[in-house]
Amino acid sequence: MRKVGVIQVIDSLNTGGAEVLAVNIANSLSQKGLNSHMCATRKEGDLKDNIDRSVGYLFLNRQKVIDIKAFINFRKYTKANNISIVHAHATSFFFAVCMKLIHWKLKIVWHDHYGKSQDLSLRPSAVLKISSFFLNTIISVNNDLKDWAQHKLFCKDVLFLNNFALFRNLDEETTLQGSGGNRIIHLAAFRVQKDHENLINAFLSFLKRNPTWTLHLVGQLNNTAYSRKILQLIKDLKLEKHIFVYDSCLDIKHILKQSNIGVLSSKSEGLPLALLEYGLAKLPVVVTNVGECAKVVENNKSGIVVTSNNSLELEEALHILANSKEKRVLFGEQHHKNVTEKYSEEKFMNQLLKIYTR
């Protein structure tokens, strides 16, 4: 008898946190000998190159909400590959539920990566509430999302599962500009909740006291109004020789090797993979107190936790780390220890497999 299959479903393969986690799960399942598959419903992207060859891959090129051709192709694929579990990530829950209505035997696990967990009262939920009747399990990336799902949705099986990070791509393509030993890295797509503007304002003040340091912004640009605004801000402040923008990159391990401080200036978060990746790379961090960040980072032990949307606090924290190599080393080592012990691939996969098998 063929092994029962699991397929990770995500809208795109752009380099966002949810997308990276979905690909990592698919690869890890395959390495454990499971019948593992990956599906991008709407767009492909750079992360396609990170999918292991042993993982089955399906691209649907879905053009509209109700796309009959995409539904038919997905149903054919799941039947042909003996897939019974659909692990839907982020907004792909609606597609997964539509497929369950067509192919009732499918079990749906929905992974909620919602990044605006500070504003859950404003979260659109009408479609999600109806869809939740058909979900078998909901995995939340932080406790606020778990509590929200338990109170607002109709799925009975809701749990919180820590993200995990790992470096599979070992390429060394990206060379950071600026002088070695004085680089601050910010791994985040150009989206409003990542609050690049606050970080740039903090860095402008920081630069007056630390003129040899540079800031490096790595993340999907997407040519949106927000990304254009940030690029224009850098020009207006005449910071082009001090702040460098790279768009999305896959060689994250190599990038972090060239960096000295990791920063996240978000207004809201779930549990950002970038924060875990900083830990794997032994980087000391400055991070805002949103989502699960303050649970990952021990303030003044493995990094510095600051108030969101406060450029003065952010600037001072960066200044403290920039002027103490001893703290950078100690904080980086402790952050690495915490991440490898609490947010490991093995721990995550063991918990996930229990969800799949029960």
| 173 within some domain | no
Query: Which element (helix H / strand E) includes 6?
Result: strand 5-10
290 and 219 together in one domain: yes
pLDDT for the residue 2: 60
**Helix, coil or strand: residue 307:** coil
261 and 152 together in one domain: no
349 and 326 together in one domain: no
Looking at per-residue pLDDT, the higher value among 196 and 4 belongs to 196
User: In whole numbers, what is the pLDDT of the chain averaged over residues?
Assistant: 95
CATH code for the domain in which residue 201 is found: 3.40.50.2000
Structural domain span for residue 351: 5-164+344-357
350 and 331 together in one domain: no
pLDDT (tens digit per residue) in 74-125: 999 999 999 999 999 999 999 999 999 999 999 999 999 998 777 788 888 8
* Total domains present in the chain: 2
| 329 within some domain | yes
pLDDT band at 358 (very low <50, low <70, confident <90, very high): confident
- Positive or negative: CA dihedral 304, 191, 121, 270: negative
| 274 within some domain | yes
**Helix, coil or strand: residue 48:** helix
| 46 within some domain | yes
User: Which alpha helices (DSSP H) does 192-290 contain, by range?
Assistant: 196-209, 225-236, 252-257, 273-280
pLDDT for the residue 115: 80
Does residue 335 have a pLDDT over 80?
A: yes
Does residue 1 have a pLDDT over 60?
A: no
Sheet holding 183-187, edge to edge: 243-247, 214-218, 183-187, 261-264, 285-288, 303-306
pLDDT for the residue 343: 94
307 and 279 together in one domain: yes
pLDDT (tens digit per residue) in 215-229: 999 999 988 999 999
**Both structure tokens of 197:** 């503007």
86 and 26 together in one domain: yes
| 293 within some domain | yes
For residues 137 and 148, what is the distance between their CA atoms, to the nearest angstrom? Answer: 14
| 176 within some domain | no
The burial class, CB within 10 Å (0-12 / 13-18 / 19+), for 350 is exposed
pLDDT for the residue 219: 95
pLDDT (tens digit per residue) in 239-251: 999 999 999 999 9
189 and 324 together in one domain: yes
pLDDT (tens digit per residue) in 307-318: 999 999 999 999
| 257 within some domain | yes
The distance between the two most distant Cα atoms of the chain, rounded to a whole number of Å, is 67
pLDDT for the residue 132: 97
| 172 within some domain | no
105 and 252 together in one domain: no
pLDDT for the residue 186: 98
299 and 201 together in one domain: yes
